[in-house]
Structure 1
Amino acid sequence: MFRRDREPSRRPVEDVDLDSLLALVAETRGYAFEFARDGSYVLLSDSAAADGDGAELVVRLTGLRREAGRRAREDWPMLVSEHLAHAVATAGERLDVCDLEQAGPLLRTRVEAVDEVADLTRVVGRHLNADLVELLTVGSRAVRPEEAGCWPVPTAQALDLAVANVRREERLGVEGIELSGTPVTRLTGMSPSSATHLRWLGDYLPVPSDGVLVVLPDPYTLLLHPVDGIGVVRAIERLRVHAVRTGGLSSQVYWWHEGRLTLIKADIVLQSGQTRLVVAPPPEFARVLARLAV
């Protein structure tokens, strides 16, 4: 390790610039620092450490460097500051999320509304559609991009590992209920990963070739209705009204078909003192409705 390079640096200029920023932020926070010669980590120590009484903290930098490479330079100060702050805040944790061997068995998924995620660039996940995102989690929190950047696998593979963990660890409860006379199936789990189970929905109920309607009142629950007859129009209304009343994860109705979750745009409007549902289905679902109506 070294405090300052004693030889002209052969490392990429981006790494040198990032190190300078890391050093500045560390000093601002009151830490002394030493970088590993290969730049893979920085050792932080507080003022008491010099007397043998203070704490030292190893902060991994591999994932941070990868994330910085994907971001504009004007984002670097905030990225570095957040990375060091997070490392300090989690210093007492036994789990090192940067170590996939440790973190892998604990990886899970959680679905959130896109509008509820403060900054999508600071989490790891993938969109289920324009409204919903499936986040990669460890324990109760979302994985940060610079943590996933430490792993020897791409994030898509890490998400697949999390999905496999969800399937192995939990089976949802299945219950038939009615919404104003319309039968629906309710799937309920103990973890906020219920929407992940859409991938193997056939394990829980018969899935028609035209798929199922889905609402997600909360991360633990799915409400489903088969797309198997023109009665699906009434089901859209019942599910949409229920989703609005619960005010949970999403107030929308979706169509799960061939591995995709598609929004069925349905607006509740007040007209002449009466409440009406105005449905504007996507073209593919509209063709299904037209066929079912014959």
Structure 2
Amino acid sequence: MSLFRRDGARRSSPEPRVPARRPVEEVDLDSLLALVAESRGFACEFAPDGSAVTLRGSLAGDTALVVRLTGLRREAGRRTREDWPVLVSEHLAHAVATAGEQVDVCDLEEAGPLLRTRVESVDEVADLTKVVGRHLNADLVELLIVGSRPVRPEEAGCWPVPTARAIDLAIGNVRKDERLLVESIELSGTPVSRLTARSPSAATHLRWLGDYLPVPADGVLAVLPDPYTLLVHPVDGIGVVRAIERLRVHALTTDGLSPQVYWWHESRLTLIRADIVVQRGQTRLVVAPPPEFAQVLARLAV
């Protein structure tokens, strides 16, 4: 393995400068980066401040590939050293795979206008440590995306703002992109509102549901049959119990984003556990509402 110098060539001087001592973690990470880069057929040159590494070699053709390292260093600081080889390998592989992208995602000024969100089932995300997002609840996560792909933590780590601020920026972009189409439909006689988006960010619009239809003080029931669609029903009477059944059955038949029914109230999406049980040839719905929603049901039943 060749030796990579980060402090430039030695100067001819009767009193040579002593390079500043660097944290041992940074030195070790650079050594690992150099090792992984060479194993992939690249020669590499680190920027003097350690913010980037330039890859050159047969795999990169005649074009030098500059890989930013600020976010990688931050992510490495959150991980154990045992995670570093995989983290570095995946970071360099991702940099090579996305080299043809016209936008440098590590540059927030460049990537910011393209940031969006997409809601996914937690079970459908292979590894939550390799994406950026926030949980809407225990089984749904709102991912930060650019174009059609999720943003990686090492990319978001390059930005001069916290991840939460970047997600808020993406949410703002979603709101400016479009208004949802609102339709009134019936599910076995129960009226519901269907809101449809052109992009896979329909659930993000729950935050502005009041811009589309009246929202009672007790909120609405919501199902997310797919990333482009929302079905909602107001929580404004005891008929909400039947609505839970109709929405649950519909969500099951779509086999989409989530088969569950949720309660959207005070900017929170809470699961209303509702299981369809077959006993002795009879089908019935068994609802186990969260305590707060149970209180709402008790009040509505009076």
Q: Which bracket does the TM-score occupy, shorter chain normalised?
A: over 0.9
3-state SS, counterpart of residue 63 of structure 1: helix
Map of 2:83 onto structure 1: 75
Please say if residues 32 and 47 of structure 1, whose CA atoms lie closer than 8 Å, have aligned partners that are also in contact. no
Distance in 1 (CA, whole Å) between partners of 2:65 and 2:6 is 21
- Aligned: 1:195 with 2:203: yes
Please say if residues 42 and 59 of structure 2, whose CA atoms lie closer than 8 Å, have aligned partners that are also in contact. no
Q: Deviations over 1:15-38 (max 9, x none)?
A: 111101100100100100111111
Distance in 1 (CA, whole Å) between partners of 2:207 and 2:21 is 48
- Aligned: 1:42 with 2:53: yes
Please say if residues 144 and 151 of structure 2, whose CA atoms lie closer than 8 Å, have aligned partners that are also in contact. yes
Please say if residues 45 and 55 of structure 1, whose CA atoms lie closer than 8 Å, have aligned partners that are also in contact. yes
Q: Deviations over 1:245-272 (max 9, x none)?
A: 1010000000000000000000111111
Structure 2, unaligned runs of 5 or more: 8-17
Q: Which segment is superposed worse, 255-264 or 8-17?
A: 8-17
Q: Which of 127, 146, 155 pairs up with 2:154?
A: 146
Cα shift at 1:3: 2.6
Map of 1:30 onto structure 2: 41
Q: Which of 238, 241, 248 pairs up with 2:249?
A: 241
Cα shift at 1:92: 1.5
Partner amino acid for 1:176?
S
Q: Which of 204, 229, 239 pairs up with 2:237?
A: 229
Map of 2:222 onto structure 1: 214
- Aligned: 1:262 with 2:270: yes
Cα shift at 1:48: 8.4
Distance in 1 (CA, whole Å) between partners of 2:69 and 2:175 is 32
Map of 1:164 onto structure 2: 172
Q: Which of 100, 112, 118 pairs up with 1:104?
A: 112
Partner amino acid for 2:143?
L
TM-score normalized by the length of structure 2: 0.94
- Aligned: 1:17 with 2:25: no
Partner amino acid for 1:185?
S
Partner amino acid for 2:145?
T
Percent identical = 82
Map of 1:4 onto structure 2: 5
Map of 1:273 onto structure 2: 281
Please say if residues 194 and 222 of structure 1, whose CA atoms lie closer than 8 Å, have aligned partners that are also in contact. yes
Please say if residues 99 and 151 of structure 1, whose CA atoms lie closer than 8 Å, have aligned partners that are also in contact. yes
Please say if residues 118 and 143 of structure 2, whose CA atoms lie closer than 8 Å, have aligned partners that are also in contact. yes
Map of 1:126 onto structure 2: 134
Change (3 A) 1:239 1:71: same
3-state SS, counterpart of residue 62 of structure 2: coil
Please say if residues 133 and 144 of structure 2, whose CA atoms lie closer than 8 Å, have aligned partners that are also in contact. yes
3-state SS, counterpart of residue 55 of structure 1: strand
Please say if residues 217 and 243 of structure 1, whose CA atoms lie closer than 8 Å, have aligned partners that are also in contact. yes
Cα shift at 1:5: 4.7
TM-score normalized by the length of structure 1: 0.96
3-state SS, counterpart of residue 119 of structure 2: strand
Partner amino acid for 1:145?
P
Map of 1:57 onto structure 2: 65
Structure 1, unaligned runs of 5 or more: none
Q: Which segment is superposed worse, 116-125 or 70-79?
A: 70-79
Q: Note the aligned Cα RMSD (angstroms).
A: 1.4
Partner amino acid for 1:41?
A
